[in-house]
């Protein structure tokens, strides 16, 4: 038996309690998976945390405006205009709820760590495209880096991006990819053994 954590939004919690956690995006381009972690903190998981983005102040503003344009149609209140004419985006928070998930050895499906996932799903794709080892390392480092940049890395300067990727490849930059795990089948409601809500001090209870 093993314990993992899954973070999500309050507005989808009722469905999760009723139906379980559905399969979602695979960061390595393979079949859908469920993202889990062995750490109780949502830090460095690539999740949105409800950031306020101001036009002209935050580099991520333009990225969010383009990436989430459909969201602003569905929830127009998230995009507003300040008194000085600049626009403001209120992002959603994917860390409002922490679910504790219990996976027994007898449960169907397979838990993969990040290395197992990219070896299974991503490396064959890269090999088919003729990528060499250096290109593969860059691609994997980019995926790891995405954990700290939920809006992507396009807004980073070339120098900063190069520094961070080099740090990951050389092992000098801290990251949490070793804590990432991926479940290959849906999580049943009975496997969710605890539900906690984020508090004002970012703790969970």
pLDDT digits (tens, 9 = 90+) for 14-54: 999 999 999 999 999 999 999 999 999 999 999 999 999 99
Every domain of the chain and the residues it spans: 2-47+98-197, 51-91
**Selected residue with higher pLDDT from 194 and 104:** 194
Cβ burial of 144 (10 Å; 0-12, 13-18, 19+) is buried
pLDDT band, residue 105 (cuts 50/70/90)? confident
Q: Are 190 and 99 in contact (CB under 8 A)?
A: no
155, pLDDT greater than 90: no
Task: List, in order, residues 6 or more apart from 28 with CB less than 8 Å away.
Answer: 117, 118, 120, 121, 122, 143
* Nearest of 142, 141, 156, 148 to residue 63 by alpha carbon: 156
The tokens for 192 are 């969710």
pLDDT of residue 32: 97
Instruction: Supply the mean pLDDT for the chain.
Output: 94
Give the helix ranges, DSSP H, for 86-132: 114-117, 123-128
pLDDT of residue 148: 93
Q: Are 35 and 147 in contact (CB under 8 A)?
A: no
Identify the DSSP state of 11. G
pLDDT of residue 106: 73
Q: Which residue has the tokens 């449960």?
A: 107
pLDDT band, residue 159 (cuts 50/70/90)? very high
Q: Are 45 and 7 in contact (CB under 8 A)?
A: yes
Q: How many CB atoms lie within 10 A of CB 76?
A: 9
pLDDT digits (tens, 9 = 90+) for 72-89: 999 999 999 999 999 999
């Amino acid at each position: 038996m093993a314990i993992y954590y899954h973070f999500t939004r309050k507005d989808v919690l009722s469905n999760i309690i009723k139906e379980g956690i559905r399969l979602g995006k695979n960061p390595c381009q393979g079949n859908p998976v469920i993202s889990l972690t062995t750490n109780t903190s949502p830090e460095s998981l690539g999740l949105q945390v409800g950031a306020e983005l101001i036009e002209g102040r935050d580099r991520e503003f333009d990225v969010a405006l383009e990436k989430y344009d459909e969201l602003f149609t569905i929830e127009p209140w998230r995009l507003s205009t300040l008194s000085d004419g600049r626009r403001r985006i209120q992002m959603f928070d994917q860390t409002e709820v922490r679910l504790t998930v219990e996976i027994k050895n007898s449960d169907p499906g397979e838990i993969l760590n990040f290395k197992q996932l990219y070896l299974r799903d991503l490396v064959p794709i890269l090999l088919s495209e003729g990528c060499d080892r250096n290109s593969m390392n860059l691609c994997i480092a980019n995926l790891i880096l995405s954990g700290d940049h939920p809006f992507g890395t396009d807004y980073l300067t070339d120098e900063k991006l190069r520094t961070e990727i080099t740090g990951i490849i050389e092992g000098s930059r801290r990251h949490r990819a070793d804590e990432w795990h991926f479940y290959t089948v849906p999580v049943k409601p009975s496997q969710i053994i605890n539900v906690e809500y984020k508090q004002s001090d970012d703790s969970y209870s």
